[in-house]
Amino acid sequence: MNISGSFLSWKRQLALLAGMIIAANCLAQENTSPNGPAKVELRQADGRWQLYVNHQPFFVKGAGLEFGDQEKLAAAGGNSFRTWRTDNGQETGRQVLDRAQKNGLYVAMGLDVAGERQGFDYSDSNAVAKQLAEIKSQVLQYKDHPALLMWDIGNELNLNSQNPKVWDAVNEISKMIHQVDPNHPTTTSVAGVNKELVDEIKSRAPDLDFLSVQSYSDIVNLPGELHDSGWNGPYLVTEWGATGHWECGKTSWGAPIEDDSSVKASLYRKRYEAAIAADSTNCLGSYVFLWGQKQERTPTWYGMFLPFGQETEAVDVMQDIWTGHWPEFRSPQLKGFWLDGKSSFQNVHLNAGGNYTAKVQVQSPDNAPVTYVWNIMEESQAQTIGGDFESQPADMPDLVSPNHTGGAQINAPTKPGAYRLFVYALDNHGKGAYANIPFYVDAKPSAVATTSAINSVHGE
């Protein structure tokens, strides 16, 4: 036996082994480095489903955010946000992801898949192929960004949809993503769940890694609905929040009645505890809606921020849920709002051109001074669904004269029809509360009609 030769061979083996270990470490560092893609996995352990990001457990504490404030989301304890498309018209997908990385946030990147309700024909193979190619180019562009968490393929594609081939297209998109991007899971966001929908997705889109569900007032029933529909796998809640304008009470003339900011905040907590925190087996987390502001039936219905930028009580609640701590300064709280002595549930009728009193009761937990902003708008006539774009009715602030006691004098519009009175209570910490009352303006009685009514009372 040549001892010196064996010794040299052993040294070479050690060097080779060391090189392999260094290479493996470099590869692992590449997958978790600030400049490389995050490795996102879905695992099941002890019967519980959970996301892992770079080998660490990750429960989504997120919000739907397209034009909202990422920095405030991070400060409130959020760890992720979702989008509905890659480029939102104000920022490119790259800018969105770069900013998220700076803020320590991960992005559930939405892929804008056309809906049947928007006129797309999923029986048109050429159109489907063209859409697949467009989405592939987006995936290739952003798949290696370190702030990317997952791909959300389409939004509420089941809404007003009849053609089940949409799920074939979703499956092909998911397969394409898995071929070019091994690091990020795929999902699709649906509006509610039922057995027929779940059966279609299971059959036609089995390549999806998990299901995402969007629900509002009915979210408290989500765990039971998922069970009844036959979905026993992992899921994410990608939209939830205020009671939907299609779920609430309405006035006698059909105007939906919106909860005030404090009622909404209370419902956010109850719904989170009932539907998200309650399921530690299959729920991967949630994205509350909406971290920002938008016009959808009203300028305040779904946004957790005011049109002027102030945070509302819903933001305070989510920070407490995510971190276990309230913010240093709490938002003003709405205690009551009346127009002509009536609340929003009392079918408020005003006479055209008449003068009326409005009163609001607000409590500031930090005793911060509160200023009030008042406004009247015509009732929105939008019939859009699924969060599609709506135009905001024109402001009519000149019809309101605030007083020094937290109230205002209202001059009813002269044109008969449906309107809303809005009040915003703003403090000096960037916080605010709000409420609105729908009201109907009746035509002013004519002089002849008034005389006839008086004569009839006197028996003339």
Supply the pLDDT for residue 444.
75
Q: What is the pTM of this model?
A: 0.89
pLDDT for 385 equals 83
Task: Give tens-digit pLDDT for 334-374.
Answer: 999 999 999 999 999 999 999 999 999 999 998 899 999 99
In this model, does residue 22 exceed pLDDT 90?
A: no
pLDDT, tens only, 270-289: 999 999 999 999 999 999 99
pLDDT at 455 over 80: no
Q: Are 379 and 255 in contact (CB under 8 A)?
A: yes
- For residue 202, count CB atoms less than 10 angstroms from its CB and return exposed for 0-12, middle for 13-18, buried for 19 or more: middle
- Helix (H) or strand (E) segment spanning residue 228: helix 222-229
